[in-house]
Chains A and B, each alone.
Chain A
Amino acid sequence: MGALNYADLKVLVIDDFDSFRLTVSKMLDEFGCGQVVTAVNGRRALKACEEGEFDVVLCDYNLGPGPNGQQVLESLRVNKLMGRQSLFLLVSAESSKSIVLSAYDYEPDAYLTKPITGRGLKQRLDRLLRQRDEMMPVQQSLDAGDIDGAIAMAIGCIPGGSRYTSAFQKLLGELFLETGRIAEAEDLYTKVLEVRPLDWARVGMSKVKSANGEMETANEWLSQIIDGNPFCMQAYDALADNCQQQQNIERVQEVLQAAVEVSPMSIVRQASLAEAASGNHDYKVASKAYSRTVRLGEHSCHDRLEHHLQFSRVTASMLRDDPGANTDVAREGLRVLDQLSKRFELSSEARYTAQLLESQLHACRGDVRRAKDILDEVETNLPDQELSLELQLDRVATYQGLNNEAKAGELLEALLDEYKDDEDSLRSIDLWLEEPVSDFNTKLVARINNEGIGFYQNDQFDKALNSFRRAARLFPNHLGVHLNLVQALVADMKEFGVSDESMDTCLTSLAKVERKIKPGHAQLDRYRQLQHMVRSLGQ
């Protein structure tokens, strides 16, 4: 082993505790580090890194107000303030798994636990620097964008029995997958797995399977890995990716919900969960996940305007669906909207959107006058044309929040006409319609409905309820679906007894129908009948 040249090293130490910065800098001086710089918080650290790149960053996880250690790392890597060959060491007072698990795209090179001793730090740095030196040529090729060159070099390092064979293998596996060299990836993972069933190689192998189109096998592998080690976050992420590819958004949500339960600190995962849940119209889960996303975003480079708008949007949807719910979260939504212009530069479209959402949230809190005033203001300022579909649908939602069904209907008619040949747009308009018009959704609602009716006729009420609940979630304005759900609930309660929860669902669904149904509607008689049955069950 060659001697390490500490004199060439530029090191940054970040901690809000003076004593820690002092002690560690003194240790680093004693090791002979060429330059040691300290920073008292994340913001100053990022600034220091903008002014010049460091070879080693030693950063505490808890940095007081502002970004935490993991967020500093993410900013450094995303904004390319730190190359692949620099080392980032995350320090914490406790070896908490939740800190270790908060890493998403960017993992630190090492986790250190306080208290740090001079001898311990030196050993750790020696090891990391040796590994860095050995992997440097490969990392430099990657930084230069030469993946094939990096692969060739990494392959060359393995047969020599490098001390870092395992690190080279992990990297190689990922690079093979990234560049579509699937057979080589398979070969590599097979060799590793022959020795030991290590999680990283099993996840890699599952990616080989899905790249080869064996989705079900891949999903089975991943589920098994998670069963054995619920902390293997890569397995959840890979499984969620697969389900996304299979367009099974409900499963994506399930997987991400489990992942977030284990590791709540990753903003990227929270945002993916929020997106999946709002796609499923599961507004409760979506609202909570977006709320966390917004909060985690405060000091993160992954903060997005869309998260803030979506939080308000899904929260308003949730409260419109369930008028009895606690409206405290609406206040949180209003606060988020209020802060928008301070955090982001807003286009005029974003400003209108924010105002519409503000109106919706006021309506949810019962402040109809304020809601109307804001809506009026937006309407006066809106240009006549060139409004995006998303903004138009936010208008529809705002009308509906104010129980102005006529204006909502009018605008929807106009949109249906404007987008009549655009299947994707029609799919998003469908959400607001009594009956979907897009090909995809027409077929979907028919399929779920028929499935439910089949179960109902076979007296499998549990399964029938599942189908109708799903249909009502996906098509919240579909009267027939709501009536089917009520009918199945009534049958279920007649058989197994009345429950508060089922009763609530019945009443919510009936209230929804009540608001929409007009005299002469084909389902009016059925509605009256079911309403009567629910009332007599409730007595």
Chain B
Amino acid sequence: MKEEPKADFSLILASSVHDMKNSLGMLLNSLESVMQETPAENEAQAKRFATLQYEASRINTELIQLLSVYRMENDRLPVQVDEHYLIDVLEEQVARNDMLFQTRSLTVEVDCDEDLLWYFDAELIGGVIHNVLVNGARYSKSKMKVKAEINDDELIVTVSDDGGGYPSFMLGCPQQSFVKSVSFSEGNTHLGLYFAQETARLHSRNQRQGRIDLSNGGDLGGGVFNIFLP
């Protein structure tokens, strides 16, 4: 008897994730319209709106990252490096989450020279920053800061907050792989950090590879995320 060819489960998963992502995009869009057309009447309602929006956009980013990781593993995520102004990329990510920050009463400062230029894939790195901001919004008290500078011929983008900081077992990356620290019971797969790490690695130049680093403290006293791009 001939054996039926088995469908590749990761492929099925990837295409279904793709579908989910599109639906969710529509959902987010409608939600935004609802919030604009019928503004919240009281604080409880505003909170519910905020939760809806936050959780939906979190699923959305997670799905996008899942797809990207799938493509990375199948060598279908080429890096399209071009020259970009950091201020444009960072401000775009902050503006994208404007509503989220407002509903959480967070102020987000961008500290970046207007003329700072660097070379990277803006879509990928934008996605990394977006994810760190969305996650940070959950843990910050009132302030976040995004900073970009060049040091030792390398771009460093730092996202810091005034929250409780990263748990100690997560510090000191990238020596430790994030996927290994998956904790289903805590509902945290650290997919975002894995994505950030792999995206950073895809940026390399003259034998130098991009990397990320997590620490606590910094200007605001909370968690500090760094991404280094040669």
Contacts and interface: CB of A to CB of B under 8 A. Distances in A.
Interface of A: 17, 19-20, 22-23, 26, 93-95, 114-115, 117-120, 122-124, 127, 163, 166, 196, 198-200, 228-232
B194 to A, nearest CB: 20
Contact of B33 (A19, A124, A198, A200): A19
Given A95-B123, A117-B95, A228-B78, A196 B83 contact: yes
Interface string B102-137: 000000000000010001000100000000000000
Interface in B10-38: 21-22, 25-26, 28-30, 32-33, 36-37
A198 B82 CA distance: 6
B210 to A, nearest CB: 15
Contact of B80 (A117, A123, A199): A199
A114 B91 contact: no
B179 interface: no
A94 B98 contact: no
A118 B36 CA distance: 11
Contacts of A118: 98
A200 B82 contact: yes
Contacts of A228: 78
A229 B78 contact: yes
Contact of B29 (A93, A229, A230): A93
A165 to B, nearest CB: 9
B96 interface: yes
B83 A115 contact: no
B81 interface: yes
Given A117-B99, A120-B95, A123-B91, A94 B32 contact: no
A230 B74 CA distance: 13
Contacts of B219: none
B115 A163 contact: yes
Contact of B22 (A20, A94, A120, A199): A94
B46 interface: no
A235 to B, nearest CB: 12
Nearest to A226: B78
B63 to A, nearest CB: 10
Interface of B: 21-22, 25-26, 28-30, 32-33, 36-37, 64, 76, 78-83, 85, 88, 91-92, 95-96, 98-99, 115, 119, 123, 205
Nearest to B94: A119
Contacts of A23: 32-33, 36
Contacts of B85: 163
| Chain B interface, DSSP helix/strand/loop, else mixed | helix
Contacts of A122: 95
A94 B21 contact: yes
B78 A117 contact: no
A17 B37 CA distance: 15
A117 B92 contact: no
A19 B22 CA distance: 17
Given A23-B32, A120-B92, A93 B26 contact: yes
Given A117-B98, A117-B99, A123 B78 contact: no
Contacts of A123: 88, 91-92, 95
Contacts of A230: 76, 78
Contact of A166 (B22, B36, B83, B123): B83
Nearest to A26: B36
A390 to B, nearest CB: 42
A127 B92 CA distance: 11
Contacts of A120: 92, 95-96, 98
A231 B79 CA distance: 9
Contacts of B83: 166, 196, 198
Given A196-B119, A198-B82, A228-B78, A117 B96 contact: yes
A63 to B, nearest CB: 15
Contacts of A20: 29, 33
A91 to B, nearest CB: 11
Contacts of B99: 117
A232 B119 CA distance: 17
B166 to A, nearest CB: 28
A229 B119 CA distance: 16
A115 B98 contact: no
Given A19-B33, A127-B88, A163-B115, A115 B78 contact: no
A229 B36 contact: no
Given A94-B25, A95-B64, A198-B82, 8 more contacts: A17-B29, A22-B33, A95-B123, A114-B25, A120-B95, A123-B88, A196-B83, A200-B82
A166 B88 CA distance: 15
Contacts of B91: 123
Contacts of B82: 166, 198-200
A199 B83 CA distance: 11
Contacts of B30: 19
A115 B28 contact: yes
A19 B80 CA distance: 34
